Structure 1
Amino acid sequence: MERLTTSQLNISYDDRMIVNNLNIAIPEGKITALVGSNGSGKSTILKTMARIMSPAAGQVLLDGKSIHKQSTKDVAKQLAILPQNPTAPDGLTVTELVSYGRFPYQKGFGSMSKEDRNVVRWAIESTGLTEFAERPVDQLSGGQRQRAWIAMALAQETEILFLDEPTTFLDMAHQLEVLQLLQKLNEENNRTIVMVVHDLNHASRYAHHMIAINKGTVMGEGSPTEVMTPEIFRDVFNIEADIVYDPRSGVPLCLPHALITKYSTTTAATHQREAAVV
Structure 2
Amino acid sequence: MIRLTTSNLDISYEERLIVQDLNIGIPQGKITALVGANGSGKSTILKTMARIMNPSKGKVLLDGKSIHKQSTKEVAKQLAILPQNPTAPDGLTVSELVSYGRFPHQRGFGSLSKEDREVVKWAVEVTGMSDFADRPVDQLSGGQRQRAWIAMALAQETDILFLDEPTTFLDMAHQLEVLHLLRKLNEVNNRTIVMVVHDLNHAARYADHMIAIKSGTVKGEGSPLDVITPEIMREVFNIEADIVTDPRTGLPLCLPFALAALPVADRVMKDAERENREELKAAGA
Bucket of the pairwise TM-score, normalised by the shorter protein: over 0.9
Aligned match of 1:126: 126
Aligned match of 2:103: 103
Aligned match of 1:74: 74
- Contact in 2 for aligned 1:32/1:210 (Cα 8 Å): yes
Following TM superposition, by how much is the alpha carbon of 1:260 offset from its aligned partner in structure 2, in angstroms?
A: 2.5
Aligned match of 2:177: 177
Aligned 1:39-50 pairs, distance under 5 A = 39-50=39-50
Cα distance in structure 1, aligned partners of 2:40 and 2:99:
34
Following TM superposition, by how much is the alpha carbon of 1:56 offset from its aligned partner in structure 2, in angstroms?
A: 0.2
Following TM superposition, by how much is the alpha carbon of 1:265 offset from its aligned partner in structure 2, in angstroms?
A: 7.9
Aligned match of 2:164: 164
Higher Cα radius of gyration: 2
Cα distance in structure 1, aligned partners of 2:58 and 2:164:
22
SS for the counterpart of 2:2 is coil
CA RMSD of aligned residues (A): 1.3
Aligned match of 1:6: 6
Aligned 1:1-278 pairs, distance under 5 A = 1-262=1-262
Q: What is the letter of the counterpart of residue 231 of structure 1? A: E
Following TM superposition, by how much is the alpha carbon of 1:259 offset from its aligned partner in structure 2, in angstroms?
A: 1.2
Cα distance in structure 1, aligned partners of 2:108 and 2:129:
30
Following TM superposition, by how much is the alpha carbon of 1:111 offset from its aligned partner in structure 2, in angstroms?
A: 1.1
Cα distance in structure 2, aligned partners of 1:35 and 1:245:
19
1:8-36 deviations in Å (ceiling 9; x for gaps)? 00000010000000000000000000000
Q: What is the letter of the counterpart of residue 8 of structure 2? A: Q
Q: TM-score, normalised by structure 1?
A: 0.94
Point out the more displaced range, 105-114 or 76-85: 105-114
Cα distance in structure 1, aligned partners of 2:127 and 2:230:
37
1:55-101 deviations in Å (ceiling 9; x for gaps)? 00000000100010001111000010000000000000000000000
Q: What is the letter of the counterpart of residue 166 of structure 1? A: P
SS for the counterpart of 1:37 is coil
Aligned match of 1:275: none
Q: TM-score, normalised by structure 2?
A: 0.92
Q: What is the letter of the counterpart of residue 50 of structure 1? A: A
Gaps of 5+ in 2: 275-285
Cα distance in structure 2, aligned partners of 1:40 and 1:108:
40
Q: What is the letter of the counterpart of residue 224 of structure 2? A: P
Gaps of 5+ in 1: 271-278
Identity of aligned residues (%): 79
SS for the counterpart of 1:3 is strand
Following TM superposition, by how much is the alpha carbon of 1:262 offset from its aligned partner in structure 2, in angstroms?
A: 3.3
The number of residue pairs the alignment matches comes to: 268
SS for the counterpart of 1:166 is coil
Q: What is the letter of the counterpart of residue 185 of structure 1? A: L
Cα distance in structure 2, aligned partners of 1:245 and 1:230:
13
Cα distance in structure 2, aligned partners of 1:172 and 1:262:
30
Q: What is the letter of the counterpart of residue 71 of structure 2? A: S
Q: What is the letter of the counterpart of residue 188 of structure 1? A: V
Following TM superposition, by how much is the alpha carbon of 1:109 offset from its aligned partner in structure 2, in angstroms?
A: 1.9
SS for the counterpart of 1:109 is coil
